[in-house]
Amino acid sequence: MIPKNKVAIAIVTYNSATKLADCFASLRLTTYPLELIDFILVDNASTDESIELAQASGLSFRIIKNKINTGFAAANNQAYELAKNLAVDYLVLLNDDTIVTPDWLKELLETAESAPDIGAVQAKLMLYPEKELINSYGNALTFLSFAYCNQYRQPDKPNQPAFAVPYPSGAAVALKMPALERTGLFDDKFFMYHEDVDLGWRLRLAGYQILLQPQAVVYHKYSFTKADYKYHYMERNRLFVYFKNFRWPTLLIFTPAFKIMETGICLFAIKNGWFKHKWAGYLWLVKNWGYLLSERKKIRQLRQVSDREILKLMIAEIKFQDVDNPLLAKVVNPLMTVYLWLAKKIIFW
């Protein structure tokens, strides 16, 4: 296939100078024609040399300088607005701590072009420097909106075909611009975490497929760190996604499981000293309830797919080794698995 699609590659930076050299060096080796690529860098008020490195990279970056840290979601939305003005066919989101392989972009776009209803294609994310271990082989999503890296730290699975995933990781994904024109990109309210879950959910509701292409390999300098601010955004935004995208009857069916899980999370938060952040998430949700209801109206107009169909790619179990514990593995996961099985028997809408 002769490359013809114009692409914008967006990278968001925030004091990223120590990461960018490897990323830029790998991008220069991309086999996709550079004349068809516009590079966009959105800098969230870095105080290091991130912008200078982009200017010296040889990649002809279009640079957006923010005066404050607007967050991952809003910064990528700025790149999306610029991409629309550039009249590109694809917007590719790429984390600043990634290293791409030469054919990554070609593989993503060839897969995306293989069917008109494919809205997004994610690369296979491998760890770096442990390049033989998986970072994300398509992220997992539970029916209570917990999201995590699927097959994290498992051995590589080479030579596998593309397959459907519930949502695309924002670390390395190609998005069709016509699909984004229907759904929009990220919701600025998220700031960071779960914005890609929300995007994937909207794309699927609009009738688009989301695939992972294992032949598109990107290495990710990923590490899972436990920090209060992460718990705050991850829990707050998980609930926002949950209440924003499911229909009301589905939320009613899930209420008992939701209450059990929330009670468990609150106890866990109290035990580990971050309950104030969990409580702040509840207060934020109440404060933004009017906005959430307005977003639900937009989603209702967008919806082409039933919750029953959405649930086909969702699971019940949380199997992320960095948060695993015996209670989760032996009690919570089996209970939630049975609950989801029963719920799927009931939900027909």
Give the pLDDT score at 223.
Answer: 77
The answer to whether 177 and 90 have CB atoms below 8 angstroms apart is yes
* Mean model confidence pLDDT for the chain: 95
pLDDT digits over 215-235, tens only? 999 999 987 666 677 888 999
**202 and 304 Cβ atoms separated by less than 8 Å:** no
- Comparing CA positions, the residue from 78, 6, 97 lying closest to residue 40 is 78
Q: pLDDT per residue over 149-164, tens digit each?
A: 999 999 998 889 999 9
Pairing mode, if any, of strands 61-66 and 37-44? parallel
- The pLDDT, as a whole number, for residue 2 is 83
pTM of the entire structure? Answer: 0.95
Render pLDDT for 255-298 as a digit per residue (tens, 0 to 9): 999 999 999 999 989 998 999 999 999 999 999 999 999 999 99
Contact 146, 239 (CB under 8 A): no
Residue 13's contacts (CB-CB under 8 Å, 6 or more residues apart) are 20, 41, 42, 43, 44, 46, 50, 51, 54, 96
Q: How many helices (H) and strands (E) does the chain have?
A: 13, 12
- Could you give all domains of the chain from N- to C-terminal order, each with its CATH number? 7-220 (3.90.550.60), 229-346 (no CATH)
The rounded distance, in Å, linking the Cα atoms of 10 and 174 is 10
Model pLDDT, residue 227: 67
What is the DSSP annotation of 155-195?
BP-TTPPPEE-SS--TTEEEEEHHHHHHH-S--GGG-SSSH
**Which segments in the chain show pLDDT lower than 50?**
none
